[in-house]
Each structure stands twice: as C-alpha cells, then as structure tokens.
Amino acid sequence: MTIKEIENLSGIPRANIRYYEQEGLIDPKRLPNGYRAYSDAELAALEKIKLLRGIGVSLEDIRALQKGEDELSSVMARRLRELEGEAKAIEEAKQLCKAIKSAGESYDTLNAAKYMDALPAEDDPVIVIGPGVPQYPPCPWRRYFARGLDLLVYRTILVTIFSFTYLGVLESNVIIAVLTLLLMFILEPLQLCLFRTTLGKLLFGLRVTNNDGGRLTYGEALHRTWYVFLYGMGLGIPIAELVMNWKSYKRSKDGELLYWEDYSKVVPREMNWKHAVGISGTVVGWLVVIILTINLSQMPPNSGDLTVAQFAENYNFLVERYDLNLRHMTSEGQLYVSELDGSDGSIGEIGKQGNVVINVTTKPRLEFEYTLENGVITAVTAKSELRGAEIVAGSSEEQLLIVLAFGGVRKEMGSGNSHRKFMEEKLRSEPFKNLDFSMFGLRIERTVDTRNYITAGDMLMERDGVEGLYRESFTVSLKK
C-alpha cells in the first residue's frame, strides 16, 4: 500500500503516520525508488495505535506493549486509574465554575483567594485526549532558502581564502562550485552534531535532531548531508538539481519523509522579526565581505609615496596576483633580462612551466626611467623600440600594471575594482593610440610612433617589403 492508501484505510493523517514511523512504532518496507510500501501488518499496528491513543495511552506505553515489555491489562488498569483521577478533577472544576457563575462575579470583582482551596491539586494529571502527535509544518521554502544561505556562507569562506592566496581559482565557477560542495561535507555535519543546526537553518528557525529529539552523531549527520547532495541537490548537476528540488518539494508538501530523514527530523520554530533581521544582516554582511575581500586582496603591499624598490615589489605582486605571463622586476626597477631577448628590442617569452613560448607576434622590451624627489618616485616612464618586426603586440598589460603599482595604491584612486576596470578599458581599447589624460590624481601620457605599420585590432602588421619601426613612451606621473 502507498501512503495515500494506508491514510484512507486507517483514517490517520499522513503526518501522524510519518511521526509514528520516526518513533519506531511501524517499519514499512523501503522500495528502490525511495517510496515506502505499507503492509497489512502496518495497517493493523496503526489501527491499534489509533485506538490506544484515542483513550489517552502514551506512546511510551504503546512502545512497551509492542516490545512485550508490558501487558495490555496492566496498561489499561493504569490508564483507568488516571481517567478516574481526571474525572474527579473535572467534576471539581465543574462545581467551581458553577459556584463562580452563581455568585455573579465579574473579572474586576473576582476574589480569587476565596476559591483557591477548591482548585484541584497541582499534581493531578491533565491529559489531552487524542493523538497528541506534534505535526510540524513541512516548510519546504524555509528549508530551501536555509540551504542556499549555508552554501553562500561556504562560498564566501572559499572566496576569502583564495583572494589572498591564489586569485586564479576565482576565475573558474566550476572549481569554486566543487570546492563549495566539499566544504559543505566538512562543515555541515560538524554543525549539526554540535549545535543541531547550521547558520542558514538557525536564521530560518530550523533545527535538525534525531528521532528522539537529541543531537545527531557525526556519522548520522554526514549520512544526511550525503543523501541531501544525492537526492536533494542532484549531485550539483544543474538540470538534475532542478528536478530533484521539485521532487523534494512535492514529497515535503505531501507529508512524505524525504530521502535523508531516516535518522533525523527537521523541527521548525515560529519565525519573528529577529529572524528577518538576521537573514538581512547575513546577506548584507556577505556582500560587504566579498567586496572588501576582493578589493583588499588586489592591493599591492606598498602604498603612499614609493621608492623604486617598493614600486618594483608592487609590480611583481600584481604580476603574481593576476597570474600574468609577464617579466618580473629587479629591485632596481628594470625587467629581468633573458638570453632569449632579441637584439631588435624584442623579448623572448618564458611559459609558466619554464618552456619557451613561440609567438607569431613580437613584444617590445620595456626600459624604465624614474623621476625622483628625495628618493620618492614622482613619475614612471616605460620606453620601447622595435625594428623590422613583422607583427607587433602592444604593452597595454604592462602599462596597466605600472598605473596600478604606482597610482593604484594612492588614496586618490581608492580600492574600488571599478577604477581598475575603467583604466584597463582605457589603455586596452586602442593600444597604439596616443593618450594624455588626468584621473585619480595621476597624469597618464602615451606616445606611439609607428612607421610602415598598419593597425590590425590589438596588433601592428608590417607593410610588405618595407622595414617597420615602432617606438612607444608611456609615462605615469603625479598630477601637480
């Protein structure tokens, strides 16, 4: 039988049936597709439970009867004594109600002390007749958003770590997604076994407990997380995740236990304004952390007035931070020279693994000049010259690093990523165009002299049969 069929036959709501299963009073067979199959034995057990709960027998007594630890006659005798005590208390309460009504008392004139002695004793049992099963609302949307918030927190942790270690990882959404899931397998079970909740669940008023209301073991919590990943998130595969989310939503709304709830249950609490404030604060805090982390991680180590050595250190930091295949600088402020460099003013490129990179284009070698005042740089100039190169690649990448290493650490530019993006677009949009503009407390000048070359996008191509000449001067100076 399905859950719907046994619900109709027994007359017990499916939420109660699930609760009795969690309490171990019934044990339906689990099918390969995850659904339960109820037998006649489960139906008979549910009918007995319904009868006994209807006369107020506790679940503890029913469990003892099923296990053979108690006799039905003993349970009935005990319950009969309880009912007789309740009947006496109810009769006394009825007489007290009649006395107060006959006296014509109002709430303002009621003399409570006068009637106190007639109250039933405090230790008289007060039993609610009926199933007495806590029917927790399924709240699928709260659970969905709580998990989303947890994943957001895990992702933020990774972004923070890699922003200060290896920025290249952040360029791959796939790698970050995989690492986020791995972190989930570490942190979620740990939180559940220690606190019975996670940050996301806490803010959405949810607790996860075992079937007895206690904490899950780490193994049970890990098992739960794995089944959430498998049956709730579809292994993180976008289409599969969408399908599994829908199926989980339907099961939850229909009162079905989800695949990962064999050893656990979700206990919702009533949400209030504190939860709303907590959720809003967490999201805003996440945005602030992400923005500050990325901006601060891209800031070179030296700021303010710079010496040549400090400028070189900033330049090298940016080469590493943006994972660029560019030359590093010596402490004297010149790019390292390689035996692969050509006599025509070109540089031989070295791959990140030490292999020689063969390019069709030729890149000019930059020579740096510095204007100093009391040992502090006031201007940086990078000059280059090439002769006879068939195809020339510009130096806009190096020029951007010069601006950021020198001016990007000054308070006029600030730490905003938008400033860097704007400067990058300005320098790279037309890499062979003369420039002269002021911005963020800097003056930026670029002079390009080409002979016998034609522009082809971000390259220069030599005219057939005529030797080309390429000269460029790029200067960043403090605006006076």
What's the pLDDT score for residue 192? 92
- CA distances to 94, 325, 454, 473 from 364, rounded to whole Å, are 102, 15, 17, 11
Which of 81-90, 105-114, 291-300, 303-312 bottoms out in mean pLDDT, i.e. has the lowest?
Answer: 291-300
How would you write 283-311 as a 3-class SS string? HHHHHHHHHHHHHHHCCCCCCCCCCHHHH
- CA distances to 58, 72, 76, 263, 468 from 64, rounded to whole Å, are 10, 10, 13, 21, 98
What's the pLDDT score for residue 353? 42
Which of 111-120, 161-170, 252-261, 382-391 bottoms out in mean pLDDT, i.e. has the lowest?
Answer: 161-170
Mean pLDDT of 417-429: 76
pLDDT at 143 over 70: yes
What's the pLDDT score for residue 185? 95
- Band (pLDDT 50/70/90 cuts) for residue 203 is confident
Based on the number of CB atoms within 10 Å of its own CB, is 107 exposed (0-12), middle (13-18) or buried (19 or more)? exposed
What's the pLDDT score for residue 130? 40
pLDDT at 350 over 60: no
What pTM does this model have? 0.48
More confident call, 45 vs 341: 45
Mean pLDDT of 87-101: 84
R_g of the chain, CA atoms, integer Å: 38
pLDDT of 214-231, one tens digit each?
A: 888 898 899 999 999 998
Which of 29-38, 143-152, 251-260 bottoms out in mean pLDDT, i.e. has the lowest?
Answer: 251-260
- Band (pLDDT 50/70/90 cuts) for residue 127 is very low
**Alpha carbon distance 43, 39 (integer Å):** 7
- Band (pLDDT 50/70/90 cuts) for residue 367 is very high
Domain residue ranges of the chain, discontinuous segments joined by +:
1-135, 140-297, 308-478
Assess contact for 159 and 294: CB atoms under 8 A.
yes
Where would I find the beta strands (DSSP E) of 160-288? 206-209, 265-268
The fraction of the chain above a pLDDT of 90, given in percent, is 21
- Band (pLDDT 50/70/90 cuts) for residue 360 is very low
* CATH code that applies to domain 1-135: 1.10.1660.10
